[in-house]
Amino acid sequence: MAKIAVLGYGVVGSGTVEVFYKNKENLEKKAGEPLDIKYILDVRDFPDSPYADKFVKDFNVILNDPEISVVSEVIGGLKPAYDFVKSALTAGKSVVTSNKELVAAKGAELLKIAKEKNVNFFFEASVGGGIPIIKPIHACLEANEIDEIAGILNGTTNFILTKMIRDGIGFDEALKTAQELGYAERNPTADVEGFDACRKICILASLAFGRHVYPESVHTEGITKITLDDVSYIDSYNAKIKLIGCVRREDKGEISIGVFPAVIKDESQLAGVNDVFNAILVRGDATGDVVFYGKGAGKLPTASAVVSDIISAVKHSDTSRSLTWADSEQTFVRPFEEFTCANYIRVSIKDSESAKATVKELFGDVEYLSTKGSNSGELAFVTDVMREKDALDKCAGLPDGFGVPVRIRVLDY
Amino acid sequence: MAKIAVLGYGVVGSGTVEVFYKNKENLEKKAGEPLDIKYILDVRDFPDSPYADKFVKDFNVILNDPEISVVSEVIGGLKPAYDFVKSALTAGKSVVTSNKELVAAKGAELLKIAKEKNVNFFFEASVGGGIPIIKPIHACLEANEIDEIAGILNGTTNFILTKMIRDGIGFDEALKTAQELGYAERNPTADVEGFDACRKICILASLAFGRHVYPESVHTEGITKITLDDVSYIDSYNAKIKLIGCVRREDKGEISIGVFPAVIKDESQLAGVNDVFNAILVRGDATGDVVFYGKGAGKLPTASAVVSDIISAVKHSDTSRSLTWADSEQTFVRPFEEFTCANYIRVSIKDSESAKATVKELFGDVEYLSTKGSNSGELAFVTDVMREKDALDKCAGLPDGFGVPVRIRVLDY
């Protein structure tokens, strides 16, 4: 009999308990032994819950109960989750978590403790919600050298961009709709500024390349500056704007990593990912491109990933032996100004012919875009692949009359 | 040190050896111990191969060598693969295979032997080539009751259909192109008649629903009767024709299962899967729809899945405890005439108004389709959801003047 504690009875926590009891019989068959949730930790009272007798307010009750072998942390945030998880692992209990902030900030340290204590630390639910991605990268694509990972990792921003593209409404209005539907928080910063996607690509990068990538080292841009003008030009390029988190293996043991809105051609599997859905593309040297698609958030999808990790932890999967990454050296993440990609650029102009001559001089041959709403006072074009630094320099080198150029990176997935 | 034998040095076998030695160092880290391929079994000689000293022609050399703990069967077909695999498992060696014919025909028996002998029988490469799908269904989506699985499981037919849709060429010409490019065999029957896709959906169904589904019990249709007229009408319906293998949980512990060309709306993630790519949609009660996409065949993608299974087998993953399905009872697969879906139907007509009256009488309200090439001598429409039996009866009930109706099922994924 394996006894489990669930920390936090919010959206994911209550979903975890719900999925667990709904499929308990099946889960026990898969785990190979009886299972039960013994404690649910929450500061609030739930007197009317069918699980009322399981609620505790003091984490030490769980920590000091030798019967508890698996702790499921679904509180979110660093405080108090980090202390709870660290104590649980140190006490020889396996931990599963949906907490991307925790894994992105403390993954290397917590995995190290788990290894020393010969217990598991699993976090499938921290990236992609219900989409299996951590385990498949770790246990299915292991015969590959992974060259790149690129993902639509945040459902809120993908919903907003989808609304803008489909309904032709601006960012502010689309955000408001997302908030009304409960897809965006009242304070949407973590989503719309790319911080949430940043944590997730850090976790995937750490997993794929074996060294911890900290969010602070990742160039991160959100979608707040995307305009309908750009949506329209990019539509004429047979492409979509998506908020992409991507990491790429470079030479000398380095990686390039970033989160930013990007132009994705329609033939890419990522271009057709709409609304709150997420998708993650993994490019391996043997498999080529593999894409995982599904609901990246939500109560039951996320809970499903948490419960699956609970079963894996109960089965004492030998994953703990190999699921690990080291703390990283400064030099591991290449400066973002070395990142290479093509660029969509939109500038103000006065005279088309002379402007095109200036563009050619600076950027070489480019592909000009047009759109229904294109006006004679601007030019939009797509450049060849170049270094970020060169793109910045060239944009800075545009004469005064060009205004402040809008630039969106073009990725090839 | 784990010693491995590879049975068969064809496309997948040579790929397996290549991927293994290319990433050996990394694989050993993941397996937690040194690894080597000791034998390669093939009836042919490869005197110039760098692995010439590993070749053997007699399977008994492998079977009787106690050093061999993992056997990788990549010969294909039932004979002699079935005997080899059965003997290896019986002798207490783990087996990994890419052989869909073997798993679809003998999976339950071989899994039973593996369990009795406490060894592993893995077959990730048998479905979806390099796409992780067996392990994710088994070890990541286990907290779900799986309601449906639907997949584009055969790259050859998907390439042919993509050619027909994109280039407007007929089936015969598209098949010829596929053969010239090496995507279709000289005898393309197994692909174009749906037999290959049938084996794969049988494996997925057995895995998801816990009882062996034999290919003989599955309603299977190929794509040879698909015409450009239908492609064009279905295009006007904002949909694509795809060869789909699907299985659905029904009540009373039964499943519905079939392989047939189907109309898939463009907003589905399956509609955008083109060329030789495969994709598998898994609909779980907690996760909702999850889609796995990638190269469904090819030397290195398939080899990557085989090598990943080798590592899992070496790590003595505890999967053997739970990866299993029972031999099934007759009643498990519901008769296909009870299958329910909407239908695209195209008929010959003389007079549009009277024909529409007849259609309404038989099929109720339908959605009429039109197309650039639509001629006044025919009608195409999409019906409501109905039982297969009723669709057949209604089509049979059309008066003589309607000709032989073309019917393609419409699926909602």
Residues of A in contact with B29 (CB under 8 A): 322
Give the residue on B whose Cα is nearest the Cα of A274: B267
Using CB atoms and an 8 Å cut-off, which of residues 313-372 of chain B contact chain A? Answer: 315-318, 321-322
Distance from CA of B294 to the nearest CA of A (A): 4
Instruction: Please judge whether A132 and B29 are an interchain contact, meaning their C-beta atoms are less than 8 angstroms apart.
Output: no
Instruction: Please judge whether B143 and A312 are an interchain contact, meaning their C-beta atoms are less than 8 angstroms apart.
Output: no
Instruction: Please judge whether A136 and B141 are an interchain contact, meaning their C-beta atoms are less than 8 angstroms apart.
Output: no
Instruction: Please judge whether A140 and B305 are an interchain contact, meaning their C-beta atoms are less than 8 angstroms apart.
Output: yes
In this prediction the pTM is 0.95
ipTM above 0.90, yes or no: yes
pLDDT at A139: 86
pLDDT at A322: 65
The answer to whether residue B303 neighbours chain A at the CB level (below 8 Å) is yes
Instruction: Please judge whether B308 and A29 are an interchain contact, meaning their C-beta atoms are less than 8 angstroms apart.
Output: no
pLDDT at B16: 97
Residues of A in contact with B305 (CB under 8 A): 140, 143, 287
Residues of B in contact with A26 (CB under 8 A): 142, 145
pLDDT at B328: 73
Residues of B in contact with A131 (CB under 8 A): 287, 290
Of B136, B315, B316, the CB nearest to A132: B136
**What's the rounded Cα separation, in Å, for the pair A72 and A2?**
13
Instruction: Please judge whether B290 and A293 are an interchain contact, meaning their C-beta atoms are less than 8 angstroms apart.
Output: yes
Of B20, B141, B312, the CB nearest to A132: B141
Residues in chain A with pLDDT values less than 50: 318
Instruction: Please judge whether A290 and B293 are an interchain contact, meaning their C-beta atoms are less than 8 angstroms apart.
Output: yes
Using CB atoms and an 8 Å cut-off, which of residues 90-149 of chain A contact chain B? Answer: 124, 130-132, 135-136, 139-145
Catalytic residue ranges of B: 200
Distance from CA of A237 to the nearest CA of B (A): 18
pLDDT at A371: 79
Using CB atoms and an 8 Å cut-off, which of residues 12-31 of chain B contact chain A? Answer: 19-20, 22-23, 26-27, 29-31
**What is the pLDDT tens value at each position of chain B, 413 positions in all?**
999 999 999 999 999 999 999 999 999 988 889 999 999 999 999 999 999 999 999 999 999 999 999 999 999 999 999 999 999 999 999 999 999 999 999 999 999 999 999 999 999 999 999 999 999 999 889 899 999 999 999 999 999 999 999 999 999 999 999 999 999 999 999 999 999 999 999 999 999 999 999 999 999 999 999 999 999 999 999 999 999 999 999 999 999 999 999 999 999 999 999 999 999 999 999 999 999 999 988 999 999 999 999 999 998 754 565 688 888 766 799 999 999 999 999 999 988 889 999 999 999 999 999 877 667 789 999 999 999 999 999 999 999 889 899 999 999 99
Distance from CA of B34 to the nearest CA of A (A): 14
Q: What is the pLDDT of residues A46-86, one digit of tens each?
A: 999 999 999 999 999 999 999 999 999 999 999 999 999 99
Instruction: Please judge whether B316 and A318 are an interchain contact, meaning their C-beta atoms are less than 8 angstroms apart.
Output: yes
Spatial contact of A35 and A67, defined as CB atoms under 8 Å apart: no
